[in-house]
């Protein structure tokens, strides 16, 4: 369960003079109880392409307990990124509902949505760090957008740099940082406004084993220390197995299995899951996976 946030850690700094304070998140349409961190109901999204209509998401239902680390595992093209985009309302689903801590995001105006988005931090697969900004300035960006005053922004950024162990990198530009350091900057930026939920799209892709392990451990610490609910979208079975409490298998836009990670992996119930877990026929990939399993 979510722990009380401490002033020195994940409290959002409020700018008394700002028009849109980040911390006082007005939450229209909030239900009295907030049973789930995320609840998706019948989420569907289709695209028209040369072949006709393609159902990228086909009635996705998913409910995540607060404080969970949940993985959505699926092959390329399964609909993972589409799910993330529709969840964040970066793209409108054709049908279905997104409830974030009980608040129905379908019904929010654009202004309400901007405020509510502070509840959700995101780390995208390609990080999207701004090359022209230092690490500290990148982390500061969401605080600037939220109208947080400079003094509080600086304090918050310093706190985050320290928590992520990169205090000495604050004035470096992304190009001068290692992959793992860039990942930490992106995570710090995602957490800048003290969200209750963190979404991570392929957070371990293109990382070496050691860096991958350290990023996964950071994700777990974020949940353990701050009670943040973490949703990881990935095709990396080993990473999901290592860090996720629960797992869903997404295939052709549908969730075909969900459950405790070990159960889903040890006793897959569907052909889609079995295919996903099938050992690779490539000796190189097999040996990479074996060494990763050993390390993790
Ligand atoms: N804007 C779009 N227009 C048309 N088709 C799209 C669009 N976005 C996604 N799709 C299609 O929807 C399906 C799901 O795409 P999505 O990017 O969600 O997959 P993914 O699971 O994230 O794959 P990957 O692991 O390769 O990132 C794919 O068949 C893709 O071609
Ligand atoms: Mg994707």
Per domain, the residue ranges of the chain are 36-295
Atom 1 of ligand 1: nearest residue by CA position: 47
Output the CA 8–ligand 2 centroid distance in Å: 35
Question: Contact, 10 vs 139, CB < 8 A?
Answer: no
Q: Exposed (0-12), middle (13-18) or buried (19+): which is 44, by Cβ within 10 Å? A: middle
Atom 28 of ligand 1: nearest residue by CA position: 77
Output the CA 17–ligand 1 centroid distance in Å: 42
pLDDT digits (tens, 9 = 90+) for 244-294: 999 999 999 999 999 999 999 999 999 999 998 887 545 565 555 555 545
pLDDT digits (tens, 9 = 90+) for 203-253: 988 788 888 999 999 999 999 999 999 999 998 999 999 999 999 999 999
The pLDDT of residue 208: 87
The pLDDT of residue 21: 30
CA 242 remoteness from chain centre: 16
Q: Which CATH number fits domain 36-295: 3.40.50.300, 3.30.870.10, 3.60.20.10, 3.40.50.2300?
A: 3.40.50.300
Token pair 């799910």 in the structure block, residue = 83
Output the CA 125–ligand 1 centroid distance in Å: 14
What span, in angstroms and rounded, lies between the C-alpha atoms of 109 and 107? 7
- Binning pLDDT at 50, 70 and 90, where does residue 24 land? very low
Per DSSP, 109 falls in state: -
Rounded to the nearest 10 degrees, how much is the dihedral formed by the CA atoms of 286, 291, 293, 296? -150
Token pair 């019948």 in the structure block, residue = 42
């Amino acid at each position: 369960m979510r722990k009380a946030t401490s002033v020195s850690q994940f409290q959002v700094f409020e700018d008394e003079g700002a028009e849109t304070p980040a911390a006082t998140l007005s939450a229209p349409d909030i239900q009295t109880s907030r049973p789930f961190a995320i609840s998706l109901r019948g989420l569907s999204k289709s695209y028209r392409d040369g072949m006709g209509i393609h159902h990228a998401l086909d009635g996705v239902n998913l409910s995540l307990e607060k404080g969970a680390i949940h993985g959505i595992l699926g092959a390329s093209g399964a609909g993972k990124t589409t799910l993330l985009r529709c969840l964040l309302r970066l793209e409108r689903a054709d049908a279905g509902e997104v409830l974030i801590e009980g608040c129905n995001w379908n019904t929010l105006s654009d202004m309400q949505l901007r405020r509510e988005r502070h509840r959700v931090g995101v780390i995208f697969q390609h990080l999207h760090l701004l090359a022209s900004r230092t690490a500290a300035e990148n982390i500061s960006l969401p605080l600037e957008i939220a109208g947080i005053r400079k003094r509080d922004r600086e304090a918050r950024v310093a706190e985050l740099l320290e928590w992520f162990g990169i205090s000495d990198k604050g004035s470096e530009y992304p190009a001068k940082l290692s992959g793992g350091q860039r990942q930490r900057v992106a995570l710090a930026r995602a957490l800048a406004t003290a969200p209750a939920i963190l979404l991570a799209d392929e957070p371990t892709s293109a990382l070496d084993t050691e860096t991958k392990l350290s990023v996964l451990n950071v994700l777990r610490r974020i949940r353990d220390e701050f009670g943040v609910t973490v949703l990881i979208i990935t095709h990396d079975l080993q990473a999901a197995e290592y860090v996720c409490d629960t797992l869903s298998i997404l295939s052709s836009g549908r969730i075909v299995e969900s459950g405790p990670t070990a159960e889903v992996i040890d006793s897959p119930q569907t052909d889609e899951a079995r295919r996903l877990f099938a050992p690779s026929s490539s000796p190189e990939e097999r040996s990479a996976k074996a060494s990763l399993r050993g390390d993790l």
